[in-house]
Structure 1
Amino acid sequence: MKDIFSYNADINKNAYMNWRTRRFDHIHNMHVIAEGFMNSAISLAETCLKDNHDKKADMLIFPILFNLNHGIEVYLKVICWNLNQLLNKTETFESSHNLKNLIAETKKLTVEFDNITEALQWSFQLEKYIDELYTKIETVKDNGKKVYDITFTRYSLTRDLEPQFYITEFNNIVIDLENFVQFFNDVYKDLDNMSSYLLALLDQRNELKAEFEAEYQSNL
């Protein structure tokens, strides 16, 4: 069998994992990963919309939602890391998969950086989705503690080996793919614009810093 990590003679039949990434720009590289996951979720949903006569959407919805939620997670972490850098903080981002915590931290840093509520316009639709999602994946333990199982698209069982909400629910759990594509195209655009804007600001600041240091050294 031919190696999977190998070339095709037709350049358009190759996927280059390091063409969009940069060796020493870790925040940019995370942006590339986030873009890929979000784009793949929407593209898969669009594929199902074009032809779902075989009901493939019922199977593909799991990787669609996984890619969507992971893309959102990485975008939020990229934005947090960017904002921390721009605010001259040493922190990167919260090391968890908790989208509620990540969106809250991202909003806090956004306001701290811009000091205007209009800077949060990009987050409104996303927060609406996260709130809706958490009503589905929330369970309350005997001690009253709330637990959110974001792995619902990866496994049919929870961490406690209980069936996920879409299995135990008597009524159908349905996602309108047309609405999904329309809604998340907007969310994707907002996240990507915000992330790209902050990346550009950080690049600009780093370039100015490098120029200043070079000029300082030349004057010694």
Structure 2
Amino acid sequence: MKDIFSYNSDVNKTAYMNWRTSHHDHIYNMIVIADGFMNSAIMLVEAALIDNSDKKADSLIYPIIFNANHAIELYLKATVWTLNILLDNQQKIEGQHDIQQILQTVIKRVKEFETDKEKRKQFENMINGTKLYVDELFEKIATQNGKRKKDNMDFSRYPFDQKYMPHFYITEFDNVVVDLENFVQRFKEIGENLRLISTYYLFDILEAGE
């Protein structure tokens, strides 16, 4: 049996895992991988929109949401790390998988770094779509007493948490649905803006000033 990690005779039928990445730039590599997760989420939805007569979206939605959330996590962590360097903060990546917490850290770091009101306003406009989605998401995965558990971010990977309690879409009586057309529109905007933010601070500010 042929190895998975092997060449195809056609270069266009071979995926190169280290063509886009850099040997020494950890932050840029996170952005590269974030691009892959975000693009794959959008492409899966677009494929389902072409023909969903077999209801493939009902099972694809789990990796779709996982990929989108992981992309957000990586973009935000790349931005935090860059801003920490710019602010002479010794921390690198902050937060685990709680994208709401990481987003709040990004917003805080930008406010610390940016003194120009127009740049702050521009950032707020660009991050707003992400914030709206993350707030909506955490309303879904929050526990009844309002406290969040870190394993709740696994809702798209497992049907239950670490204590084997079902996630929100399992216990909900009414249908839990995702508008696929809206998903593509929203996440294209979210992905584009997060990439612009992360690459701006990395290339236009940090590396340009070295």
TM-score of the aligned structures, taking structure 2 as reference length? 0.93
2:50 is aligned to 50
2:127 is aligned to 123
CA contact (8 A) 2:95 2:102 kept: no
What is the alpha-carbon distance in structure 1 between the residues aligned to residue 161 and residue 182 of structure 2? 28
What is the alpha-carbon distance in structure 2 between the residues aligned to residue 63 and residue 33 of structure 1? 15
State the shift of 1:57 in Å: 0.2
1:38 is aligned to 38
Identity across the alignment (%): 49
Residue correspondence of structure 1 range 182-201 to structure 2 within 5 A: 182-200=185-203, 201=205
Give the letter for the 2:194 counterpart.
L
2:182 to 179, 202, 206: 179
1:13 is aligned to 13
More displaced 10-residue stretch of structure 1: 173-182 or 92-101 = 92-101
Unpaired segments ≥5 residues, structure 2: none
1:136 is aligned to 140
Superposed CA deviations along residues 152-192 of structure 1, whole A, max 9, x for unmatched, are 00001112101111111110000000000001111111001
CA contact (8 A) 2:66 2:157 kept: yes
Give the letter for the 1:69 counterpart.
N
More displaced 10-residue stretch of structure 1: 193-202 or 15-24 = 193-202
2:160 is aligned to 157
What is the alpha-carbon distance in structure 1 between the residues aligned to residue 147 and residue 133 of structure 2? 22
CA contact (8 A) 1:140 1:146 kept: no
Give the letter for the 1:26 counterpart.
H
CA contact (8 A) 1:44 1:64 kept: yes
1:212 is aligned to none
Query: Secondary structure at 2:5's aligned position in 1?
Result: coil
More displaced 10-residue stretch of structure 1: 180-189 or 89-98 = 89-98
TM-score of the aligned structures, taking structure 1 as reference length? 0.89
> Aligned pair in 2 of structure 1 residues 11, 94: CA closer, same or farther (>3 Å)?
same
Larger radius of gyration: 1
Give the letter for the 1:126 counterpart.
T
State the shift of 1:88 in Å: 2.0
1:79 is aligned to 79
Poorly superposed stretches of 4+, deviation over 3 Å: none
State the shift of 1:113 in Å: 1.1
Give the letter for the 2:8 counterpart.
N
What is the alpha-carbon distance in structure 2 between the residues aligned to residue 165 and residue 102 of structure 1? 23
State the shift of 1:146 in Å: 3.8
Query: Secondary structure at 1:170's aligned position in 2?
Result: coil
State the shift of 1:96 in Å: 0.8
1:147 is aligned to 149
Unpaired segments ≥5 residues, structure 1: 207-220
What is the alpha-carbon distance in structure 2 between the residues aligned to residue 65 and residue 53 of structure 1? 20
State the shift of 1:145 in Å: 4.2
